[in-house]
Amino acid sequence: MENRIQCLVVPHLIGRLRKEGITGLEDYEQRLGASTPAMENLKDLLFEAHMALMFSHYGFKVTMRDKPDLEIELDNETAYAEVKHFREKEQDRVDEKAMRDSEDLVPVGILLGQPCPWQQIAKVAIAKAEQYVEDAPNLLVIASDSNAVNGCVFSTGVHLYNQEVARSGANSPLRRLNAFLLVNMVCDEWTGSDFRNVYFCPTAYAAVPMNTSLVDALTSIRRWSMPRDVTNV
């Protein structure tokens, strides 16, 4: 598996990113190679590429970097995006089996023995505060493979984050974060004219305002399906 990833998946992915005009690939490729033996870490890194492709698809100029993961630019306005991958959990597999075995509605996303999903969203955003760029707009992108972390709990997580920011000092790095973007990968292949799996939510106390054109562009992203042929590992 490791040889297959090194010889096939990584070069194909880098080629796709380069074809889309995404820059900063040298360091990213090195990080991919270093993470190959640790499959879960590799998948987390692959989601950085997924999100870079999403932004590029929606007209952003994208540069891959480290801490935060992406620089995105639209109409000469620049922002930075940190990517967090919420991995599929054992409870998700239990939920999927329950849904297959029942003809009725069943509860999903109840993570036994763990913080509530909205608490996890806020906790991640707080933990990454030092990675947000000072004096610039910042975005936390959450790519979720878990039934628990979804659009229904998203705004509650942002609300908890806002509460923490309100309690922080005026110079707190928490105030660098302008918005959250949730990409629900569990249902990325669902169809329908009104279907969406991407959700944008601004924070309440950002120190540097995000340009209206950036907000409008991010709000307009409603759907994204990952290119399975590129990063299927």
Distance CA 198, CA 225 (A): 10
Determine the Cα–Cα distance for residues 102 and 180; give it in Å rounded to an integer. Answer: 34
Task: With a cut of 50, say whether residue 134 has pLDDT above it.
Answer: yes
What are the structural domain ranges in the chain? 2-231
Percent above pLDDT 70 for the chain:
78
Distance separating alpha carbons of residues 229 and 217, to the nearest angstrom:
27
Is 62 in contact with 70 (CB distance < 8 Å)? Answer: yes
Place of tokens 């007209």: 59
Regarding predicted confidence, which is higher, 165 or 42? 165
pLDDT confidence band for 226 (50 / 70 / 90): confident
Other C-beta atoms closer than 10 Å to the C-beta of 14 total 18
Query: CA of 44: how far to CAs of 21, 29, 82, 145, 224, in Å?
Result: 22, 14, 12, 11, 17
Q: What is the pLDDT of residue 123?
A: 95
Contact (Cβ atoms closer than 8 angstroms) between residue 53 and residue 227: yes
Where b means 16+ CB within 10 Å and e means fewer, 17-29 reads beeeebebbeebb
pLDDT, one tens digit per residue, over 176-190 is 999 999 999 887 656
CB 210 within 8 A of CB 175: no
Higher pLDDT, 31 or 69: 69
Q: What is the pLDDT of residue 93?
A: 42
Question: Quick check: helix, strand or coil at residue 143?
Answer: strand
Q: pLDDT, tens digit, for every residue of 50-106?
A: 999 999 999 999 999 999 999 999 999 999 999 999 887 545 444 444 444 455 544
Would you say residue 152 has pLDDT above 90?
no
